[in-house]
Amino acid sequence: MYISLNWIKEFVNLDGIEVDELVKRFGLATAEVEGVEYKGQNISNVVVAEIKSVENHPKSQKLHILQVDDGLENLTQVVCGAPNVRVGMKTAFARVGAQVKDIQIKATPLVGIDSFGMCCGEDEIGIGSDHSGIIELDSNLINGTDIKEVFPIDDVIIEVDNKSLTNRPDLWGHYGIAREFATIFKRDLKQVDRVDLTAYNNLPKLNVAVETPDCYRYSALSVDNVTVKKSPQVMKIRLNYCGMRDINLLADMTNYLMLELGQPMHAFDHNIVKGIRVVTTKQPTPMLTLEGEEHIVDVNATLICDENYTPVAIAGVKGGLKSGISDQTNSLLLESATFSPMAIRKTSRKIGLITDASLRYEKSLDPEMTTLAIERLVYLLKNIDSGIKVSSSLTDCYNYEYPTNTIKLSADFINRRGGVNIAVEDMVDILGRLGFKVRGKNSDLEITVPSWRATKDVTIKEDLVEEILRMYGYDNIRPATMNMPLNPVEQLPIHNFEYKTKRLLVEKYGLNELHSYIWNYKDFNQDMGIKQDSVVELLDSSNSGQSGLRSRLLPTMLKFFYENKNNFDDVSIFEIGRTAEGLNENKLVVEKRKLSIVLASMTKTEKELYFTLKKIVEDLSELALTKVNYNVGANVSNCLHPVNSCAINGFGEMGVIHPSIAKNLDKRFNIVGLELDLEELLNAEKTITTRNKISKYQASDLDFNFVMSKDRMYGDLEKALSEFRCAYLLEIKLKDVYINQEVLPDKISYTMAIKLTPKDRTLEASDIEKFSKRLIDHMARYDIALR
Amino acid sequence: MKQEIEKVSLEFDSEIMAVSSQAQLEELRVKYLGKSGKITAIMPMMKTVPNEQKREMGMLINELKSKIETAVASMQDEFKQRAILDEINNAERIDITLPVETGVGSLHPRTIVQKEIEDVFVSMGFVVEEGYEIETEYNNFDAVNVPANHPARDMQDTFWLNNGQVLKTHTSAAQNRILKKYKNNMPIRAIFPGRCFRNEELDAGHENTFFQLEGIIVDENVSVANLIYFMKEMLSRIFKKEVDVRLRPGFFPFTEPSFEMDVRCPYCDGKGCNVCKQGGWIELCPCGMIHPNVLKEAGIDSDKFSGCAFGLGLDRMVMMKMGFNDIRDLNSGNLKIFKQFKVER
C-alpha cells in the first residue's frame, strides 16, 4: 500500500522529523516499509504559461504552432500536438532545460518548425490520469509561477508491505497510519472534519433492507444536485500517487475515502437504483461489473440488489456497470457497508476478482467506520460542489456489532512479559494515543479496545504487551539472561544414530549424501519398469509436478543415479528420508525413516558392490549393537534381482538391481541398491551387549573342514555353528573355501578355524577330542559333514 | 707362552685388515674364537707355565680374546650399516606426488550446517527433537492457534493429501507434541529441525520442499528481554562473531507478540553487501512469545508459564554459509555440486 506523507501530515504534524527517521521508526514499530519514493524530484522548471496565439502547422494536421507567455520578457514558440489548445488558455509549460520525469526538454524542430519547450498534460507530470490534452489551469494564476507552487507535486510516498498489515484492518487507510505516526512521535492526532448528518434526520429514510447475516452493517445516504464532474487536482494527485487512476468526481470521492479511512464505498446512480436489498445468492448469478466484464457469482455469495432484486453489485468486491455513476449522474446513492470477512474472501477468490475493496473487507473492517465515512464524504463533496443537496436521512442497518472487548491486566504483567520496567503513566499514554480507554491503575488496569482494533486484532493481554512494547521501542529493551535450573537433557537416540550413520557412510565408504523430494515419480518409474504405488495423493499437484507420495526410497536414489550417470564412472549415493509406507487403522499415513543407498560402477563387479553393501550393513548393525540376518530368497521389491538379493531382518532389503531395470537405467553400469528402516535397525534387539571376560587359560586352535552341497549357502554353516552350545569361548573364522569338481563333486568345502578358550582350567587332549566329536555330531544334524 | 699370545695377536691384527666381507669376517671369527680356533689352541700351554705366571698368562689370554671379540663386533656393525645404506641407495624411488583416490565422501550441506547449529543449542542445554513430515491438520494448524477458515491456511499454500492430512507447512507442527512431552519437566528447551513443504512455484528463491529449524523455551516468566538475549547469543555463536539483532513487529498466529528478527549483516558488518542486498540487515528469524492458546492446548498453565519460540530458515543459513545462489540446488541431487562438500564446513 502506498502512503502519501502530505496526506498523513493533514492529520498529524510531523514537522522537524527527517523522512529517514519517520520511515525507520515506523518500520520498527508498525509495519515493514518496502520502499520510499520522492515524488516531484524529477519535475523541474515547469511553469504557468498563457497561450497567446495558435497557428496551424504547415506540414501537419495535428500540430499547432503556439506563442506562449511563460512570464519572461519575450513570448516563446512551441509546437504542440494537443487538440485542446486555444488562445487565452493557461497551461503547464516546461521550459527548455526543464525535467519532466524521464524527459529533458531541449530546443528542437518538430516537423520542420523550431519548438522551445513543451506544454504538458497532467499525466505527463504525473498528477492525473487525463491523457486527452494539455492541462488547463486557473486563469487567475500568474504566468511564470512554478507549477510546484500551484500544486503539491512534491511528496514522499512510502510503500508499506501489505503482508505486514494482514492483521491490522485499521491500517488500510491514511488516517490509521497517521495514528501510528502520532503515537510513535507523541504528536497529536487531528480529528477528521465531517458533516453532522443528524441535521437531516427529518428527511425520509432510503428503502434499504439487509436480508443476509453476511452483511454486518449497511449505511446509505442519497445526495442530489451534483453538478461538478471533475475532481480537484489535489485529489487527483493523491489518488495517482497512491496507485489509483482518477475517473470522475464521484468515483474519485469514494476511492479517496477508501484511501483515507480504509472504508470502501460505492456510489450508485440514484436515478437507477432507488432502494437496496442485500441478499445471499441462491443460484449462480451473472453480473456485469463496472469494467464491463461478466462474472458468474456462485451460490452463497452476497449481492447488492435494487428494490426489485435486480443485482447491482457484488458485495464488497465490485459494482455493476448499469447502476454505476456516469458523467450524466447528478443524484447518487452512497453505500458504506461492512460484510463478513470470510464471505467476501470466498466470493472474491471464487470469481478470481481481488479488488482494493475486497482486500480491505477480508481484513475484518470496523463497522463503526461506515457512517463516519459518509459524513466525511459529504463534507468533502460540499467543499467542492457547494450546491449539493442531501436528499435522505442517514439510513443505517446495523445487524452485527462486534462485542466490546475489555481486558484486565496489571502493569506488572506487561513488565514481566517484556522483561522491562515501563512506568504505568507511559503505558497509559501509549494506549491512549492508540485509542484504548484505560481505567484503574497499576495492578488493576481495565482497558477497552477501540472498535477499529476490536474486530479480531486485539483480544487478549498479550496483544496489549505488543502494543506497549512496540511503541516503547523494541530497541529499548535491554537483553537479559534467563534464570533456569541446570537440568540435564537426554538427547534422542535415533537423532544421534541418524547422524552417526551418515558420518560412517561418508567417512568409511566415501558415499555422497543427497536430499530429494518426497514425491513418487510415476513417469520415471514407469519408464524404468519400477513398480511403486502411492498410499496418499496430493489434492493439488500443480506445483509439485507429481501427484503421489513415495512409499519407498530406493526408486528416488535410482532416479538420482540416472541423473548423474553421464558425469561419473562411479556413483555412490545415499539419503535418509521419509516415506509414506501405508495407512494405519485411522487412515493416517505410516511414516518411515528410511536409509537408501545406490552404488553404481563401470569398473567394479556386481559382486564387489553387493559385498560393499553387506559391509555397510554389518557396520551399521554394530553401531546399533545388533546382528542382522540376511534372508536370501525372501520376497523383495521389484527393483531388485530375484536371486541376488536378500531381506535384512524384517526391515530392509538389498541386492543387485533387477537386470531389466538396470538395463533401462544404463547398461554400462553395475548397480546395487539398499533400503532399510533406520529406526527399526536401532530398535532391534541389542545382541551385542555383554563383553566376555578375558580368560587366563591357554587357547587351542583347531581347523575343521566342513563339506556341504554346493546348492546351499555359507549362511547355513554359520547358522549351524552359531547354534552349537559348549562350555568354552569360541572364536570362529572362515579360513578357506575349497571347490574341486573332481575331488568333491557338487560339494563345497569350508575350512573353519576355531579358537577354543576354556574359562576355568587348562585344556587336556581328551577335552579337545570330546569337543570335536560333539561338534561333528552337531553339524551332521544340519547335513554338514567333516571332510 | 707369552710369545705365542703376542704372535696370535699380531697375526689377528694383520688378518682383520684383509677382511672385506661379512663371510670373511665370520671365517676369521671361527678361526680365532671357534671351538678349535687359535685361542683354544693356546690353552693347553697353560700346563707348562709355572704356577706363579699362570695368573698373568690367564689375563693376557682374556685380554686377547676380548680384543678379538670387540674388533669382530665392531666390524660386524660396520657391515650391517653398509648393507642398510646399500638397501637405501638401491631402493625404488616412490613418486608420492602422483594423485590418489580419496576415501571421504560428502555430507549434504544441510546436514553440515544443521549439525553445527545443533551443537550450539546442545551446548546450551537444549534437546534436539523431531517431527513428522506428514502431519494431521490438528497438529499443523489447530494446535498452534491457526483456527479453521483462518487465511493462514491458504496463505501458507499447504499441500493437502487425499486422506485429510497435510505435508507439514512449518516445524511448528511438532510444537504441541513436544510441549506435552516435556511439560512435567520444566523448563522446556528444545529445537526441532525438519523438512517442510509449501505449495508454491519454484524459482531461485522459492522451494516447495525446504528445511526449517525451530526452537522453544518455556518456563516461568520468560520475557521478550530473554528472547533477545538468547537470540543474540545463539546467532553470535552460529556466525562465530558478536552480532547485533533487532526486532520488528510481525504477525504469526502461534506467537503473541510476534516479531521479525533481523541480524546486522555479519558479512559486511552492516555496511551493505550482496548477502544483505545492501540493506545492512538480514531478515533471519521469525520469533515471538508463544501464544497462550498454544500453551493451553498442550495443557500448560499460560498464566504461570510463558515461553518464546523462534524459527530459523535452515536453507537460508545453508545458502549464506555455503554460497548457494539458487535454493533449488539443494534438492537437485546434482553430484557435481555436492561432491565438493565433505563432513565439516
Please tell me the predicted confidence (pLDDT) of residue A690. Answer: 66
A693 is a domain residue = no
Query: Total structural domains in chain A?
Result: 6
- Provide the grid cell at A593: 525413516
Do residue B223 and residue A418 have CB atoms under 8 angstroms apart?
Answer: yes
Would you say residue A562 has pLDDT above 80?
yes
Q: What is the pLDDT of residue B234?
A: 87
Average pLDDT over residues A703-725: 93
3-state secondary structure of A785: strand
Name beta bridge partners: A286. Answer: A296
d(CA A637, CA A476): 62
> Mutation test of the interface with chain A: which of B191, B219, B233, B251, choosing the one with the most A Cβ atoms within 10 A?
B251
Please report which helix (H) or strand (E) contains residue A424, including its range: helix A424-433
Q: Do A316 and A356 reside in the same domain of the chain? A: yes
Q: Are B79 and B22 in contact (CB under 8 A)?
A: yes
CA A498 to each of CA A493, A501, B105: distance values in angstroms, whole numbers, following the listed order: 9, 5, 16
Q: Work out whether strand B166-167 and strand B188-197 pair parallel, antiparallel, or are unpaired.
A: unpaired
pLDDT level of residue A762 (50, 70, 90 thresholds): confident
* Residue B151, pLDDT score: 65
Q: Is residue A189 part of a domain?
A: no
Output A677-680 pairs: Cβ under 8 A, ≥24 positions apart: A677/A592, A677/A593, A677/A594, A677/A595, A677/A651, A677/A652, A678/A494, A678/A497, A678/A498, A678/A501, A678/A576, A678/A593, A678/A594, A678/A595, A679/A494, A679/A592, A679/A593, A680/A649, A680/A650, A680/A651, A680/A652
pLDDT band for A380, please (50, 70, 90 cuts): very high
Q: Are residues A105 and A164 in the same domain?
A: no
Which residues of chain B have a CB within 8 Å of the CB of A505?
105
DSSP letters spanning A627-646: ---EEET----TTEEEEEEE
pLDDT band at B156 (very low <50, low <70, confident <90, very high): low
Question: Which chain B residues touch A578 with a CB distance below 8 Å?
Answer: 132-134, 195
| pLDDT, mean of residues B79-91 | 91
Counting Cα atoms < 13 Å in the Cβ hemisphere of A649 gives: 18
Decide if B199 and A543 are in contact by the 8 Å CB cutoff.
yes
Residue A692: the pLDDT is 67
Residue A90 in 3-state DSSP? strand
Whether A20 and A34 share a structural domain:
yes
Q: pLDDT by residue (tens digit) across A86-117?
A: 999 999 999 999 999 999 999 999 999 999 99
Fill in the DSSP letter of residue A728: S
Residues from chain B that touch A599, judged by Cβ atoms under 8 A, are: none
**Residue ending a domain, choose from A630, A651, A683:** A683
Q: A653 with A670, same domain?
A: yes
Work out whether the CA dihedral B323, B328, B332, B336 comes out positive or negative.
Answer: negative
User: Do A520 and A652 reside in the same domain of the chain?
Assistant: yes
Q: Are strands A700-709 and A670-677 parallel, antiparallel or unpaired?
A: unpaired
With contacts defined as CB-CB under 8 Å, which chain A residues touch B160? Answer: 538-540
Alpha-carbon span A9 to A15, nearest angstrom: 9
Give counts: helices (H), strands (E), chain A.
20, 37
- Asked whether the bond before B257 is cis by omega within 30 degrees of 0, the reply is yes
CA distance B16 to B300: 99
Is some CB atom of chain A closer than 8 A to the CB atom of B345? Answer: no
pLDDT band at B154 (very low <50, low <70, confident <90, very high): low
Tell me the C-alpha distance between A409 and A448, whole Å: 11
Minimal Cβ distance to B201: which of A474, A540, A543: A543
CA distance A82 to A138: 18
SS (H, E, C) A467-527: HHHHHHCHHHCCCCCCCCCCCCCCCCHHHHHHHHHHHHHHHHHCCEECCCCCECCHHHHHH
Is residue A524 domain-shared with residue A642, that is, in the same domain? yes
pLDDT of the residue at A691: 67
Interface test with chain B among A162, A544, A583, by most B beta carbons within 10 Å: A544
Which residue of chain A is at minimal alpha-carbon distance from B164?
Answer: A588
pLDDT in tens, A663-684: 999 999 999 999 999 999 999 9
**CATH 3.40.1170.20 describes domain B109-338:** no
* Range A326-331 contact pairs with CB under 8 angstroms and sequence separation of 24 or more: A326/A269, A327/A229, A327/A248, A329/A226, A329/A250, A329/A267, A329/A269, A329/A271, A330/A224, A330/A225, A330/A226, A330/A227, A331/A222, A331/A223, A331/A224, A331/A225, A331/A226, A331/A269, A331/A270, A331/A271, A331/A391
Q: Is A162 a domain residue?
A: yes
- The whole-angstrom separation of Cα A224 and Cα A271 is 10
Under the banding of pLDDT at 50, 70 and 90, the label for residue B44 is confident
Cell numbers at residue A518, please? 518426497
Residue B125, Ramachandran bin (φ over 0: left; ψ between -120 and 50: alpha; else beta): left
Cis preceding-peptide flag for B187 (omega within 30 of 0): yes
The separation between CA A239 and the C-alpha centre of its own chain, rounded to angstroms, equals 29
Query: What would the mean pLDDT of A765-785 be, rounded to a whole number?
Result: 93
**Can you tell me the distance from the alpha carbon of A115 to that of A108, in angstroms, rounded to the nearest whole number?**
5
Neighbours of A185 (CB within 10 A): 18
Q: What is the C-alpha to C-alpha distance for residues A411 and A320, in angstroms, rounded to an integer?
A: 52
Q: Are B1 and B48 in contact (CB under 8 A)?
A: yes
Tell whether A314 and A203 lie within a shared domain. yes
Q: What average pLDDT does this structure show over B192-221?
A: 93
DSSP of A535-559: S-BBS--TTTS--BB-S-SHHHHHH
Nearest by CB: B225 against A28, A479, A499: A479
Predicted confidence (pLDDT) per residue in B24-33, tens digit: 999 999 999 8
Q: Name chain A contacts of B246, Cβ cutoff 8 Å.
A: 28, 474-475
| Rounded-to-integer distance, Cα B309 and Cα B256, Å | 10
For the CA atoms of chain B, what is the radius of gyration? 42
Pairwise CA distance, residues A707 & A510, whole Å: 38
Q: Quick check: A11 pLDDT over 70? A: yes
Is the same domain home to A169 and A238?
no
C-alpha cell at B139: 497438529
Taking the C-alpha atoms of residue A294 and residue A297, their distance in angstroms, rounded to an integer, is: 9
Q: Report pLDDT digits (tens) over A683-706.
A: 999 887 666 677 888 889 999 999
Nearest-CA neighbor of A376 among A530, A229, A259? A259
Closest chain A residue by Cα to residue B125: A489
The closest of A258, A257, A255 to A245, measured between CA atoms, is A255
**Tens digits of residue pLDDT in A417-455:** 999 999 999 999 999 999 999 998 877 899 999 999 999
Q: Which domain holds residue A223?
A: 197-398
A478, A489, A535, A540: best mutation site toward chain B, by most B Cβ within 10 Å?
A489
| Residue A564 near chain B (CB below 8 Å) | yes
Distance CA A514, CA A500 (A): 16
B108 with A543: Cβ contact below 8 A: no
Identify whether residues A546 and A583 lie together within a single domain: yes
* Beta-carbon separation of A540 and B248 below 8 A: no
Q: What percent of chain A has pLDDT over 70?
A: 99
Residues A540, B199: C-beta atoms closer than 8 Å: yes
CATH number of the domain residue A545 falls in: 3.30.930.10
How far is it, in rounded angstroms, from Cα A728 to Cα A714? 23
Interface test with A, best of B335, B341, B344 (most A CBs within 10 A): B335
Q: Give the DSSP letter string of B239-255.
A: HTS---EEEEEE--TTE
Per-residue confidence at A70, pLDDT binned at 50, 70, 90?
very high
**Residue A376 φ then ψ, to 5°:** -70, -40
Check residue B245 and give its pLDDT.
Answer: 93
Is the pLDDT at B152 greater than 70, yes or no? Answer: no
pLDDT, one tens digit per residue, over A578-603 is 999 999 999 999 999 999 999 999 99
Are A578 and B133 within 8 A, CB to CB?
yes
Q: Does A354 touch chain B (CB under 8 A)?
A: no
CA A398 – CA A219 distance, rounded (Å): 8
Distance in angstroms (rounded) separating the CA atoms of residues A300 and A343: 8
Q: How far is Cα A187 from Cα A178, in angstroms, rounded to an integer?
A: 10
List the 171-230 stretch of B: residues with Cβ below 8 A of A.
185, 187, 189, 195, 197, 199-202, 208-209, 217, 219, 221-226, 228-230
Query: Per residue in B249-301, pLDDT tens?
Result: 999 999 999 999 999 998 888 898 888 888 899 988 999 999 999 999 999 99
Query: A29: domain CATH number?
Result: 3.30.56
Specify the 3-state DSSP secondary structure of B170: coil
In a shared domain, residues A250 and A311: yes
Nearest-angstrom CA–CA distance, A472 and A479: 15
Report pLDDT digits (tens) over A283-298: 999 999 988 889 999 9
CA distance A280 to A300: 5
CA separation for the pair A492, B194 (Å, rounded): 15
Residue A340's CB: how many other CB atoms inside 10 A?
Answer: 19
Domain with CATH 3.30.930.10 in chain B: 109-338
B246 to A475: CB separation less than 8 angstroms, yes or no: yes
**CB interface of A with B, residues 676-705, below 8 Å:** none
Please indicate, yes or no, if residue A542 is contained in any of the structural domains: yes
Select the residue of B208, B224, B260 nearest A544 (Cβ to Cβ).
B208
Pairs of residues, one from chain A and one from chain B, whose beta carbons lie less than 8 Å apart: 228
Q: What is the CA radius of gyration of chain A?
A: 42
Rounded Cα distance between B22 and B79, Å, is 7
Neighbours of A615 (CB within 10 A): 11
Chain B contact probe: residue of A408, A539, A546 with most B CBs at under 10 A: A539
The structure's pTM equals 0.86
Q: Is residue A481 part of a domain?
A: no
Do both A615 and A501 map to the same domain? yes
Element housing A171 (H / E): none
Cα separation, A740 vs A787, in Å, equals 13
| A479 Cα to chain B: minimum distance (Å) | 4
**Same domain flag for A98 and A6:** no
DSSP letter (8 states) at residue A324: B
List of chain A residues whose C-beta atoms are within 8 Å of the C-beta of residue B130: 492, 494-495
Residue A375 and residue A197 in contact, taking contact as beta carbons nearer than 8 Å: yes
